[in-house]
Amino acid sequence: MRLDLHVHTRERSACGKATEEAMIKAAIAVGLDGLVFTDHDRLAPPTRLCELNAQYAPFHIFGGIEISLEEGEHVLVLGLQAPELQNQRWTYPELYGFIRRREGFLALNHPFRYRTSLRIDITRHPPDAIELYSHNTPLAAEDQIRQLASHLGLRVLANSDAHQTDRLGDYYNQLATQPANDRELVEALRQGRYSCHAPKRTATPGWAGAALTHIRQRLKLQPSPPSF
C-alpha cells in the first residue's frame, strides 16, 4: 500500500489550498493507495472519514493531526482521535506523556526546517519516527536526519506535507500490508513493515545519469537503491 502520512486540506488548515476530495482524487491519480489527513491542530471528524472511505474505497483515508508545539517544532500524531489534541498549547514533554499513555504514534515532522538545531529534546523523549523526506524538509538536512535517526534507533518517513494537489506522489511510504483502520496502521508503522520512497529525488535523467553510471563503474560502486 502506497501511503502518504502527512497531507493538509482546505477544510481544516488555513494554509491548505485544496479540498479533502481534491486531495483524494489527486492522490489516486498519482498512484497512491491511501493518505492521512494531518491538518494543523485539527482532527478530521470520524464521521467524515467514514463517509470519504465509503465513497473512495478501496482508497483509504486515515485520521491524524499535526501539532504545533509551544517550542516551535511540528509533530505528527496517528492512531488517536482524542479531542484534547486539538487547539491546545502543548509542550513536547506534555504531549509525549499524553501520546505514550494512549499508545498513539508520534513522529517529528520536517526537522531542521528553519534552523540547524532542534527545539525539543528527542533524546529524552524519542518519537516513533522522524520525517526524512517532505516538501518542507530541507534537502541539505538529509544526512543530519539520517544520522540522528540512526543514533537514536528511530525509523524514518517519507511524506509530502502537501498543501496543494500537485505536491502529492513525490514522497510516500510503501507498506507491506493493507491496514484497515488507524490502529492497524500504527501497528504496521511500529513494526517497520514499510519502505520510504522518493521517486523524483532518486531519478537522475539524461547526461547526469550516464555520468554517474560511468563513475560508479569506474569505482565499482553499486547503483543507488531506489528506496531504503
Is 4 among the residues that bind Zn ion (CB under 5 A)?
Answer: no
79-118: which residues touch Zn ion (CB under 5 A)? 109
Which of 140/220 has CB closer to Zn ion?
A: 140
Q: Which 8-state DSSP code applies to residue 173? A: E
Among 39, 73, 131, 161, binds Zn ion (CB under 5 A): 161
- Minimal distance in Å, beta carbon 110 to Zn ion? 6
- Minimal distance in Å, beta carbon 70 to Zn ion? 15
- Minimal distance in Å, beta carbon 18 to Zn ion? 14
Task: Kindly list the distances between the CA atom of residue 80 and the CA atoms of 64, 101, 119, in Å, as whole numbers in the listed order.
Answer: 7, 11, 24
Which of 109/173 has CB closer to Zn ion?
A: 109
Is 66 among the residues that bind Zn ion (CB under 5 A)?
Answer: yes
Task: Encode 66-80: b = buried (16+ Cβ within 10 Å), e = exposed.
Answer: bbebeeebbbbbbbb
Task: Kindly list the distances between the CA atom of residue 74 and the CA atoms of 71, 96, 129, in Å, as whole numbers in the listed order.
Answer: 9, 13, 13
Provide the pairing of β-strand 129-133 with 105-108.
parallel
- Minimal distance in Å, beta carbon 15 to Zn ion? 9
The residues binding Zn ion (CB under 5 A) are 66, 74, 109, 161
